[in-house]
């Protein structure tokens, strides 16, 4: 039997990967979840991709998750006369609310919320950090700055304000319209951009309700100051390294990546490492050795999933990128030090019954080396708590809920399976678990299984049973 891969692959769809054949090929190559990037494309584009994913899901006979990624607020300067100017280090430069075209001395910044949050001495970054300004004096509608790092400045380039919490919602009117549309399609995850505080997750949940799980994208340094609270509020976490790296020195990003992954793992929340993982494969058929090591580092740290962005959305080699990522994951997971590292970075369980059961599951799996763990789960809770323990066995999650199965496609080591039958007693549960493990190719006659569940059946968060069974 082919060994089950624990880390998952999240692949972005786009112009290079929007046909039925392309989506099927990506799924067959190893993609577990597909990302719809609402910063690009029309609602019609995303609706068609959603439809094709569900068709591929039916063809392959396994749940496939769909994540919609909201654009979030985009802070940009206004128009520049002639489309472009050049700023020189040491010169004065003014930003203000005047909508007139900018020049080498000033530019429009149509965001009063930025001026309201500034302090003298604050740095402003333009064009993904290529230009840096220091605020010398400011008011409610202007900022007088000195250029620290100069260069060309074009129309509508982005603005970042590192170290400052901006008084704005992560959900723009466009995001709210996109969100309602995506939820009407039936997406499984919503990635929330521009998260700064736990209240941002609360706001989004008020709109989403239980229709999808929320993934907080950590791309603002301000979010790191509230990391534990954000992890507590969200259903999953994404380490958005590209945007995070704009506002932070590059040497800090790997350290924060490890910190975020550890916090998410400790909380039992799926965590995705994203951005520039195999970026050279946008135009090359193989990655650099540094990129392969980057993917491997995320897998060694126990991240639930690694993500492809432009590599699969607009690159020349989308299927090859997924295939290479799948091969890297398998190579790492075959290394004995991978297991040792997971054990060394494991966080103690919480003092409650579900975590006690799953903690015991981890110990039993290490001692008996069973073929698989079977987790009965309606809401996904049991499977996620089992996944948190990073047990030595694959986790077969049997659920009657299609949306739960699709959401769990992102979780480390979890193989979700739709199981619509109603169970009435524990003996029937054990028999059905053995049959499901055999059918999934995880177990054969004579193998040992661990079964976890909550009694009475169907009650969310009630994991209270662990049973060791033999497959007959």
The average confidence (pLDDT) of the chain is 95
| Predicted pLDDT at 2 | 43
Residues assigned a catalytic role: 35, 76, 217, 275
| Predicted pLDDT at 427 | 80
What is the per-residue pLDDT across 381-426, written as a single tens digit (0 to 9) for each? 999 999 999 999 999 999 999 999 999 999 999 999 998 777 777 7
What separation in angstroms does the CA of 3 have from each of 167, 231, 408, 442? 49, 31, 19, 9
pLDDT greater than 80 at residue 364: yes
> Which burial class, exposed, middle or buried, applies to 107 when counting CB atoms under 10 A from its CB (0-12, 13-18, 19+)?
buried
- What contacts 338, CB < 8 A, 6 or more positions away? 299, 300, 332
What is the per-residue pLDDT across 311-348, written as a single tens digit (0 to 9) for each? 999 999 999 999 999 999 999 999 999 999 999 999 99
pLDDT greater than 50 at residue 39: yes
| Predicted pLDDT at 428 | 86
What's the pLDDT band for 1 if we cut at 50, 70, 90? very low
**Domain 353-470, CATH class in plain words:** alpha beta
| Predicted pLDDT at 458 | 65
What's the pLDDT band for 3 if we cut at 50, 70, 90? low
Q: Taking a C-beta distance cutoff of 8 angstroms, is the pair 30, 9 a contact?
A: yes
pLDDT greater than 80 at residue 125: yes
What number is the average pLDDT over the span 113-122?
Answer: 94
Question: Which pTM was predicted?
Answer: 0.94
Q: Taking a C-beta distance cutoff of 8 angstroms, is the pair 246, 160 a contact?
A: yes
SS3 content of the chain, % helix, strand, coil (to 5): 40, 25, 35
Q: Taking a C-beta distance cutoff of 8 angstroms, is the pair 147, 87 a contact?
A: yes
What is the per-residue pLDDT across 21-35, written as a single tens digit (0 to 9) for each? 999 999 999 999 999
Phi, psi of 72 (to 5 degrees): 80, 175
What is the per-residue pLDDT across 190-210, written as a single tens digit (0 to 9) for each? 999 999 999 999 999 999 999
What is the per-residue pLDDT across 144-167, written as a single tens digit (0 to 9) for each? 999 999 999 999 999 999 888 999
Q: In 3D, which of 275, 255, 276, 258 has the Cα closest to residue 266?
A: 258
8-72+171-339, superfamily in CATH? Phosphoenolpyruvate-binding domains (3.20.20.60)
Q: Taking a C-beta distance cutoff of 8 angstroms, is the pair 141, 112 a contact?
A: yes
pLDDT greater than 50 at residue 250: yes
| Predicted pLDDT at 14 | 97
Q: How far apart are CA 400 and CA 343, in angstroms?
A: 32
Which architecture characterizes domain 81-160 according to CATH? Answer: Beta Barrel (2.40)
What is the per-residue pLDDT across 261-305, written as a single tens digit (0 to 9) for each? 999 999 999 999 999 999 999 999 999 999 999 999 999 999 999
What separation in angstroms does the CA of 64 have from each of 30, 187, 188, 417? 11, 11, 9, 11
Domain boundaries, the chain: 8-72+171-339, 81-160, 353-470
Q: In 3D, which of 156, 141, 151 has the Cα closest to residue 80?
A: 156
């Amino acid at each position: 039997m082919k060994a089950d891969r624990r880390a998952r692959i999240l692949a972005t769809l786009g112009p290079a990967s929007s046909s039925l054949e392309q989506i099927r090929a990506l799924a067959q190559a190893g993609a577990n979840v597909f990302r719809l990037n609402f910063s690009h494309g029309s609602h019609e584009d995303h609706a068609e991709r959603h439809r094709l994913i569900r068709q591929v899901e039916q063809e392959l006979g396994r749940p496939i998750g769909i994540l919609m990624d909201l654009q979030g607020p985009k802070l940009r300067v206004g128009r520049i006369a002639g489309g472009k100017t050049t700023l020189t280090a040491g010169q004065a430069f003014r930003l203000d609310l005047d909508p007139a075209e900018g020049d080498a001395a000033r530019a429009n910044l149509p965001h009063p919320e930025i001026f309201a949050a500034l302090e003298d001495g604050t740095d402003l970054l333009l064009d993904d950090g290529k230009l840096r300004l220091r605020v010398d004096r400011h008011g409610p509608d202007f900022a007088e700055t000195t250029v620290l790092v100069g260069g060309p400045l074009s129309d509508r380039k982005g603005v970042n304000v590192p170290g400052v919490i901006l008084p704005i919602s992560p959900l723009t009117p466009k995001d709210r319209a996109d969100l309602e549309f995506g939820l009407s399609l039936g997406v499984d995850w919503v990635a929330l951009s521009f998260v700064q505080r736990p209240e941002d997750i609360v706001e989004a949940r008020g709109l989403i309700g239980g229709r999808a799980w929320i993934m907080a994208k950590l791309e603002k340094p301000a979010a790191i100051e509230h990391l534990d609270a954000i992890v507590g509020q969200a259903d999953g976490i994404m380490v958005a390294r590209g945007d995070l790296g704009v506002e932070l020195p590059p040497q800090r990003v790997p350290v924060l990546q490890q910190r975020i992954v550890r916090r998410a793992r400790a909380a039992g929340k799926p965590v995705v490492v994203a951005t520039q993982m195999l970026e050279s494969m946008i135009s090359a058929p193989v990655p650099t050795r540094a990129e392969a090591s980057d993917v491997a580092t995320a897998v060694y740290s126990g991240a639930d999933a690694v993500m492809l962005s432009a590599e699969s959305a607009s690159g020349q080699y989308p299927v090859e990128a997924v295939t290479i990522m799948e091969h890297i994951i398998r190579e790492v997971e075959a290394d004995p030090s991978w297991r040792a590292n997971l054990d060394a970075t494991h966080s103690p369980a919480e003092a409650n019954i579900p975590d006690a059961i799953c903690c015991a599951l981890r110990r039993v799996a290490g001692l008996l080396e069973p073929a698989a763990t079977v987790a009965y789960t309606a809401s996904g809770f049991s499977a996620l708590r089992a996944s948190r323990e990073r047990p030595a066995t694959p986790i077969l999650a049997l659920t009657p809920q299609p949306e739960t199965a699709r959401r769990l496609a992102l979780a480390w080591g979890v193989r979700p399976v739709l199981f619509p039958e109603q169970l009435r007693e524990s003996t029937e549960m054990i028999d059905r678990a053995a049959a499901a493990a055999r059918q999934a190719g995880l177990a054969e006659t004579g193998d040992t299984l661990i079964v976890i569940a909550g009694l009475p059946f169907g009650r969310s968060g009630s994991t209270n049973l662990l049973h060791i069974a033999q497959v007959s």
